[in-house]
Amino acid sequence: MKRYLPLLLISFFLIILAVAGTTYLAGYAGKENKDTLPTITVYTTLPVESVSVLAQEYEKIARVRVSIAPLTEKELFTKLIQESSNPQADLILANRKTLKQAKSSVLLIPYQSEYTDIIPARFQDPDGYWTGVWYDPVIFAANQDYLRKTAEKPAKWSELPLESKVRFGMTDFLAADAAANLLYTLVAANGEEQTLSFLKKLHPQIVQYAKFLVTPARMASMGEVDIAIVVHSEAMRYVRDGFPIEIIYPEDGTAYLLTGAGLIRGAPHGSEAKQFIDWLTQAGALAAMAQHKFYFVPTNPEFRMYKEYMTKELLLLDHHDMYLPEQQRKLLNKWVQAVRLGIQ
């Protein structure tokens, strides 16, 4: 037996080496496989916390990695122009204004598929250069204690109880694009004089012009205001968390901010980027965001999520082709002077 002991020890040692080597190689192969997967790069002007949810979810279901590059609008166009001869990114995920500018700057190429074809025409570029995937309308979020005390809840902008003791909260038009978009839309729908007159009457009842989109919804949920004029996504977060607020969709129409995706000209991973755009138009993308409390309205009205949000059809007001940046700045300045400062 002693004669065979060295041989047994050597055999045992070799077996241990073989098992360890196999385990190491398997782990290395897995890592190598992941590192060699194609990576699509997304330039976005959106908050990174919402876009990263989409990237993580897509990586679970597709053999593709998604790299998110958050940029300001100015940074995005600077990079795209600098990289035009050797593109480093594959698609843009941004609001309609940015996508339209990218198209006019010849930075995108058209892409259409059976999935994008389902999206209503109002949410797409007519030539297929970009496709809207979700939007965020401005709504009323009313505190339920206030609603129990009032005879009628306002169903329209024209029914908001002005010149009363009702307390309102809204985001400062200078603080966020979604807030400023409401000003432009009201002016486009009702005219500058009527809109400024309406906002002047509303002004004394504004408890706070907030710096962030979420603040008016929080104030309504805590009873600090009776009615918040706020984006749907922020109000729905408080509704789903069980706070005492009710969402009211204005029957006479409202502003909304549309988010879409466009394929960059010369995208290094164009095929994979097209598949990602297709996925963004499907229910799974919006469901993933909702799981992380991002409650945007899908552009496809057939989705179950859309029908959960919209108990009746919402009238969306468009203005996006009416005002150039300089005209928008003038409108904001007039609002500051006439409403915030009270200068006639």
Task: Give me the average pLDDT of each 10-residue run along the chain (344 residues).
Answer: 48 46 42 69 94 94 94 95 95 95 96 95 96 96 95 91 93 94 95 96 96 96 97 96 95 95 97 97 93 94 84 84 88 94 76
Fold match flag (40-135+256-309 vs 137-252+317-340): yes
pLDDT value, residue 7: 47
pLDDT value, residue 33: 53
Length of the chain in residues, anyone?
344
- CATH of the structural domain 137-252+317-340, one choice from 3.40.50.1220, 3.30.1230.10, 3.40.190.10, 1.10.10.10: 3.40.190.10
Q: Which of 198, 237, 199, 200 is CA-nearest to residue 215?
A: 237
CA distance 299 to 122: 9
**Backbone phi, psi, residue 108, to 5°:** -120, 160
pLDDT value, residue 301: 86
The residue written with tokens 């598929």 in the block is 113
**C-alpha to C-alpha distances, 52 to 180, 186, 235, 289, nearest whole angstrom:** 26, 33, 22, 10
SS3 170: strand
> Taking a C-beta distance cutoff of 8 angstroms, is the pair 323, 184 a contact?
yes
Q: Which of 2, 83, 177, 227 is CA-nearest to residue 92?
A: 83
CA distance 87 to 84: 5
**Strand 245-248, strand 256-264: pairing:** unpaired
Residue 127, CB-side half-sphere exposure with 13 Å CA sphere: 10
pLDDT value, residue 63: 87
Range 288-292, long-range pairs (CB < 8 A, 24+ positions): 288/53, 288/54, 288/57, 289/50, 289/53, 289/54, 289/134, 292/50, 292/53
CA distance 185 to 96: 14
pLDDT value, residue 76: 96
Cβ–Cβ contacts within 10 Å for residue 336, how many? 14
pTM attached to this predicted model: 0.86
Does 3.40.50.720 match the CATH number of domain 40-135+256-309? no
In the chain, where the domains are located: 40-135+256-309, 137-252+317-340
